[in-house]
Amino acid sequence: MKTLVANWKMELGVRESVALARGVLRGLRGVKEVPNVYVAPSHTALTDVAKVLGRSRVMLAAQDMHREAQGAYTGFVSAKQLKEVGAQAVILGHSERRAYAGETDADIGCKLALACEHHLDPIICVGEPSAVREAGEAAGYVSEQLQTILAAADMPKRQRLMIAYEPLWAIGTGVTPTIHDVREVHLLIRSRLKDAGMERARVLYGGSVNAQNIYEFINDDDVDGVLVGGASVRLNSLRELINVVSEIG
Ligand code: PGA
């Protein structure tokens, strides 16, 4: 089964998130082969969305967490607190966190260790800026990011782990890499994962995925799923995305 992560970023309030989650569940009624769907609302909506999802097969992800377990960190949210409100997964190292909150691979490594400790499925984002892509060094850059992050965490071998390859220049721009480019980077990601004994991890693609182009990515054997931002915050579009993922199985 392929995976779809819907990252709602800072786009929706609590009521809108609840309505969207309800719409997703309605769309899945009667679907036998439900793909692995994660929805990631803002922190403020986690509790209410968790209630809507209940014991359904749709899973709840948070968009970030702090690198420390507990303490005097005003305004931050910990892994334990996320678990407490029903999150099952957490996105770590999204490029917007790296750009606007100055997160480094070392920070993300600390977060990864804590996520594992609290039984949250980590969805780790990696990806190169356009200058690196133009220099032909994308795969090496991403592989190094991943190596640094994985080195910081001693993960249990049975840990469910997702790596989302999200080229920075593809996020929210409408521009996507070719499937050939995605495959090249995914291959190197898988080899790093193998070195770390985590070959069962799922490797996703993210960046300007929409209902028109999702098939090309999701239908590829080297792509285990997709992480979608903009196209996941409206019900019609999100349902279309889920339908394509369900059809592929
Ligand atoms: P996008 O965002 O689908 O809007 O490009 C993807 C992401 O930021 O994860």
DSSP for 8-58, please give it.
Answer: -TT---HHHHHHHHHHHHHHHTT-SS--EEEEE--GGGHHHHHHHHTTSS-
Tell me which amino acid residue 52 is.
V
Output the CA 71–ligand 1 centroid distance in Å: 31
The answer, yes or no, to whether residue 53 has pLDDT greater than 80, is yes
**How do residues 131-156 score in pLDDT, each as one tens digit?**
999 999 999 999 999 999 999 888 87
Q: Which residue has the tokens 């990864």?
A: 112
Question: Which residue of the set 96, 103, 128, 166 is catalytic?
Answer: 166
Output the CA 28–ligand 1 centroid distance in Å: 23
Contact 44, 14 (CB under 8 A): yes
**Which atom of ligand 1 lies nearest, measured to the CA of 208?**
5
Q: Which of 163, 210, 228, 233 to probe ligand 1 with, by most ligand atoms within 8 A of CB?
A: 228
What's the chain's length in residues?
249
Residue whose CA lies nearest to ligand 1 atom number 7: 229
Cβ neighbours of residue 34 under 8 Å, at least 6 residues apart?
Answer: 1, 28, 57, 58, 246
H helix or E strand, kind and range, residue 217: helix 214-218
Q: Give me the number of domains the chain comprises.
A: 1
Q: Please say if 199 is a catalytic residue.
A: no
Q: Which of 5, 7, 169 to probe ligand 1 with, by most ligand atoms within 8 A of CB?
A: 7
**Which atom of ligand 1 lies nearest, measured to the CA of 231?**
3
Cβ neighbours of residue 126 under 8 Å, at least 6 residues apart?
Answer: 93, 142, 145, 146, 149, 163, 164, 165, 166, 189
**Which atom of ligand 1 lies nearest, measured to the CA of 170?**
5
Ligand 1 pocket (Cβ < 6 Å) reads: 7, 166, 171-172, 206-209, 227-231
The answer, yes or no, to whether residue 2 has pLDDT greater than 80, is yes
CA 151 to chain centre: 20
Q: Please say if 119 is a catalytic residue.
A: no
Residue whose CA lies nearest to ligand 1 atom number 3: 229
Q: What is the pLDDT of residue 34?
A: 86
**Which atom of ligand 1 lies nearest, measured to the CA of 125?**
9
Mean pLDDT across the chain: 96
Write the CA distances from 129 to 67, 137, 167, integer angstroms: 24, 10, 6
As a whole number, mean pLDDT of residues 113-125 equals: 96
Q: What is the pLDDT of residue 102?
A: 97
The answer, yes or no, to whether residue 157 has pLDDT greater than 80, is no
As a whole number, mean pLDDT of residues 26-54 equals: 94
Q: Which of 100, 208, 240 to probe ligand 1 with, by most ligand atoms within 8 A of CB?
A: 208
As a whole number, mean pLDDT of residues 222-240 equals: 97
Domain CATH code at residue 128: 3.20.20.70
The answer, yes or no, to whether residue 175 has pLDDT greater than 90, is yes
The answer, yes or no, to whether residue 103 has pLDDT greater than 90, is yes
Residue numbers of the domain that contains 186:
3-248
- What does pTM read for this prediction? 0.97
Output the CA 202–ligand 1 centroid distance in Å: 18
Nearest to 206 by CA among 161, 146, 244, 165: 165
Lowest pLDDT segment from 90-94, 192-196, 228-232, 235-239 = 192-196
Q: What is the pLDDT of residue 212?
A: 96
